[in-house]
Structure 1
Amino acid sequence: MQASSTDYVALSYRSDLRLLFLRWKRPASPAEHRAGYQAALQLAQKEQAGRWLVDLRSRGLADPNDLQWVLRDFRSDFQAALPTTTRRLAYLTTPYHADILRPRLSELDSLADTGTDIRVFTEEMPAQQWLQTGQ
């Protein structure tokens, strides 16, 4: 298992599951938010890992501008770094935050067609199942 950690994010890749885990440890500044995603992308490119579980439960939701950055700029980088892999991001949140994030994603993501699916989950096992099987 590949892993790295800072005071705000823990990254790991499970080769047995073929999943990259990006677990936020605390609220992050915009700079930390971008650095965390970029570090995860470096690990993902090394492992050819297009399926990510992004755990937001300890962090909470990103600022809408940071979410927009993920959906537009980062997702373009994600596609360029892993053009031949299935790309899925599963956001793991609290139920309260899921009710906020789902409509934000629908609103901000309506025009994007980058070949990267994003879904919101409140339980880890269904998120992992979707990442692995698409169901």
Structure 2
Amino acid sequence: MPDSALPNYLHLSYRPDLAVVFLRWTRPATSAEHREGYRTGLALARREQAGRWLIDLRSRGLADPTDLQWLLQEFRAELKTALPGIPRRLAYLTTPYHADILRPRLAEYDHDPTNSTQLRVFTEEQMAQQWLQHG
């Protein structure tokens, strides 16, 4: 999907050489924009059969707890349904300050040990990409 067709708060791309969807937020997002952005990314991931995502939150900041819970429960179920049998990894790229907040939030809300979508938080893009490729 060309960037011109995307909402102004989102840059979305797919790198076939890495088999990674890049979802980069350009500004803080409302709850509706948050959900629309992830679903737009899901459409691309489904088309490319790509289960690895790098989600750049550095310009956006963190979602509120309700939207995080939606992501961990509803969206992850949608991702699993859309990409059955494909390993799914979501690497979150944040500022160090936000990483310190997000890591315990993920642990707090992520209570399903059977969920097969892995989530990790990173402050360096190269480390995130390495985990997506080899983790």
Q: TM-score range by the shorter chain?
A: over 0.9
**SS of residue matched to 1:28:** coil
Q: CA deviation at 1:6?
A: 1.9
CA separation of 1:14 and 1:45: change in aligned 2, threshold 3 A: same
> Residue 132 of structure 1 corresponds to which residue in structure 2?
133
Assess if the C-alpha contact under 8 Å between 1:55 and 1:91 holds in 2: yes
Structure 1 unaligned segments of length 5 or more: list them. none
TM-score (norm 2): 0.95
Assess if the C-alpha contact under 8 Å between 1:24 and 1:56 holds in 2: yes
Q: CA deviation at 1:114?
A: 2.0
> Residue 74 of structure 2 corresponds to which residue in structure 1?
73
> Residue 91 of structure 1 corresponds to which residue in structure 2?
92
Structure 2 matches for 1:53-68, cutoff 5 A? 53-68=54-69
Q: CA deviation at 1:110?
A: 2.4
Structure 2 matches for 1:16-35, cutoff 5 A? 16-35=17-36
> Residue 41 of structure 1 corresponds to which residue in structure 2?
42
Q: CA deviation at 1:126?
A: 0.4
Alignment root-mean-square deviation, CA: 1.0
- Aligned-pair identity in percent equals 64
Cα distance in 2, alignment partners of residues 82 and 94 from structure 1 = 29
Q: CA deviation at 1:54?
A: 0.3
The one-character-per-residue Cα deviations of 1:48-86 (angstroms, maximum 9, x if unpaired) are 000000000000000110000000000000000001111
> Residue 104 of structure 2 corresponds to which residue in structure 1?
103
Assess if the C-alpha contact under 8 Å between 1:72 and 1:112 holds in 2: no
**SS of residue matched to 1:118:** strand
Structure 2 unaligned segments of length 5 or more: list them. none
